[in-house]
Every structure is written in C-alpha cells, then in structure tokens.
Structure 1
Amino acid sequence: MDFTGSVSDTGVTFNLEKLGTVNYYSKIPEQVNDESIFIVIKNYEVIGINLGSLMNAKDCDGIVELILPENIIPVDFFYFLTKELTSYGYMMNVEYKMAISPESLKVYQNYWNKIAPLMKMFGLKEQPKRKTKARHRFVKGLSEVPFSVDYNGSKATVYWNSRNELIIKKGAILVDKAPLTKAGIVGFAGRFGMQLRQEHADSIEDNVLTKDVHLRSVNEVGTFLYFAGTNSWLKLISPEGKTLDELTIVK
C-alpha cells in the first residue's frame, strides 16, 4: 500500500490515494468531520466508535479517524465496521440492523483489509475472531448492588434485577440530545434511544427521571441514558469499583 503523510506533535496523517485518508490523534482534535468514522482506543482496546462525533473520547489513549474514499457510504460502512469489530471480540453497542448489498460488502471488506495493518501500528490490539460475542451471566447476588453510571454527562444508579430486567432509578440524568449526522438527522443509535425515551415519556422531565424505568438489557440502558457509542458493560460500576462486565462475563 503506497501513501504519503505528515507528522505533527498531536498526530500522524496517512494519505492513501484512492483509499482516502487515515489520521491518528494523540489528543482530541479541535475540528470534527461529520462524515468521518472515529475509532477510540484505550489500553489497546476499542472503547468506542462514532460517526461524525467524539462523544466518548474522554480520557482515551488515541483516536483513529477514517476519512473514507468516495465509493464508500459513511453510514453503511459505520454499520459494517461495528459488525467487523464485534466479530473480532470487541463488544459494540449496536441495537439496530441494516441491510447492505453483497456488492457493497465486498467493497467495504476489501477496504478494511487494506487499512487494517495501520490499526495495529496505532496500538489497536488484535484479537482472534470468535464464533460468538462475549456472554454475560446474570448473578442473583448482584440484584441488590447499586451500579453507578457517570458517562458523557449522564449519571444514574442501575440495578440488574433479573436476567431480562434492569432498573434505572429515578433521579437519573439523561444526555440531552442525540448526535446528528452531517445531514442534520439523528443516527441509528440515537433514533433507538429516542424511541426508548418516548416509550417512557411519562417518567422523564427535563432529561431527569421522575420514576424508575425498567429496561430489558445493558445495551438498552446505555442507549437510553447516553445514546450508546461505547461498551455499556464497562460503564456500570459497582460500589467496589468493578465493572458489570468483569463481575458477570463468562470466560
């Protein structure tokens, strides 16, 4: 793969000709391209992936920006990439489904295969593909543990009451607005979050819960509180400082 590039105090730029541009930032950039995909890395792990925003980039080690070539639709490739990273063992908070044509999938896979070596150079930890994504086991003894959420302006206390029921306690603070695309519309995760909020509209006033809200999954909790964009299993913290992920993951 041929490229030209430049280096600065805050990052590196790779101009890949027909493959677009890849930027690596050691700190949050001042300007954000609405059609770029941002992969947020911490401790050699993907902790978030966003289209046109950096809502989950606080305290990260680095940010990879993909400025896509003209033959790739950003919204479609964003969905493709969430599934690709999930298949490699990362837990992406994606609750929606999207149909992509076989022809487009071939283009997207070819593009990703060509730029993937750069991801390793940026510190992205390689993981072998798994047949199934990480599984978590409900532990009855945790049903009375108050898990705290403090992320991107959202704060809440959450109980995992039963296998398919999580309770967000009243008083929780919700992120005000879902991030918008360049076209000025709400993205997929944002629409799902707004749908959840509409279903519980009588429990929300000025982005604060006035009643407890019962949801079906950890991903729903994250989407409801802060419109997803990160691994919500890592954002639920016990009083002892342990994540719900490490307390319940099946190894």
Structure 2
Amino acid sequence: MPKYGNIKNIVGIISGKGGVGKSTVTGIIATHLRKKGYKVGVLDADITGPSMPRFFGINEKRAQMIPIDDKNNFKFIPVETEMGIKVISMNLLTAEEAQPVIWRGPVVTGVLNQMYTDTVWDELDYLLIDMPPGTGDIALTVMQSFPIDEIVVVSTPQDMVSMIVKKVVIMAEKVGVPIRGVVENMAYIECDGCGTKMRVFSKKSAEEHADYLGLPLICELPINVDLTEALEEGKAESYVAENALYDMMFSSLY
C-alpha cells in the first residue's frame, strides 16, 4: 500500500498500441466515477509520454514535492481537477510540460514506484493507472508489483490494432491479472442528419473484435470532434461530466 493513503480499488487502463485513446478513456472513466460520488485518483504511468494533465486542463499547474527528511526523500501533493480528481503525472513534476524524460528502464520504473507510494492520495475509492502502450517494463511493473485489482483494455476497430492489443491480453493472463473487458474507441462516426453509425475503420462489429480478444465488450465510443475540441481547450472533464452519453456507455462498468 502507498505510504500516504488508503486506496480501495486500483484499475489499470492499457492498450497494446499508442494512439488509440487510452488516456482519453482513462479520463472519461475517472470523470464518470467522480460524477457518481466516488473519490478518484489518476496515476499517469506513461512516464515518457504523459498526457493526463492535458485531459483535465491542469497542464499549467505543478504538483508539490515536499521534503520529508535530509536524505532527499519527498512526498508528492497531487494536483486536483475542478471536480476534485487527484492527479499525479511526470508532466506535473517537470519545470515545463515539453521537457523530455530521457531515462532508461530501471530509472523509469523506480520513479513510477515512488509516484505511487509517495503521493498523498488520502482516501480513494478508485485509483486509475494510465499505463503506457505495449508489454514493456512499466506494464510489467504495474501488473506484478502494484496491488492492481483489474485492467481495462482499450482498442480500435482495425485487425492490425486488435492483433497488437491481443499481446497485452495474453500478457495479463500470464501474470494473473483479471481483465474487466475492452473499450472499443473510435468505433464509428454518427451522422448528424440521420443518426446512422458509419464505421470508417472496419466493417466488423465491435462485438467481433471483442470476440477475437476473448474479452467482454464494455462499450464502443464514437469519433467525437466536440470531445477533441474540449480536450484541446482543457475542458474535457466538464464536457464528459455534462454529456449523458458517457454515463450510458460506462453504466455497467463501476
């Protein structure tokens, strides 16, 4: 358990491939849970490519690092969003958002462990961990070293993506981490005039892709330009909170 908090449930959000909207799905789930009244935290575990502060519009803020002894040990005070979601991310700890993190694997995993254990989470019902894509060091560290309850997999409707995501599914099964199901992102575009769902990436249904992965389908999310604009403006949290679509999509999750 972390030194500075009591966390009831830890859920990893993962994909085998970058660019599928994993961080966006993490933000949507966090907002959905907070809207339901839960105490929620988000750990941005993508140390070299963090993006959660952008979703919540807190990228101009910085987390506090408070020394606890004379041996250069710190505790981290996370940044809270407008809705009260506690977020810790490497982009909240560097002097500038664009500053790169050029570290090798062991250093990255060490910092991730410190961000988890030494952040002042207090009482949380859910801690969501936005994991980097793939089956590398960070994913393995989270699955094997953290008391993770389950993971949610994010994919998009293309056979190439499904094949890569399948590797993550097999990895989780091998290390014994339960998988709640798959969210298929960018599944379709809805016609403004008639409401028809136009599947631009694949003629296969979301259910067919979920069957290939061997996972329950949690929901399929549309390509949503309004959400994209809200993300760019740092207003995605309020957009999701005010949009009943996401309550409906994730009603069966938590």
Please tell me whether Structure 1 or Structure 2 has the larger radius of gyration of its CA atoms. 1
Task: Flag the structure with higher helix content.
Answer: 2
Q: TM-score, normalised by structure 2?
A: 0.30
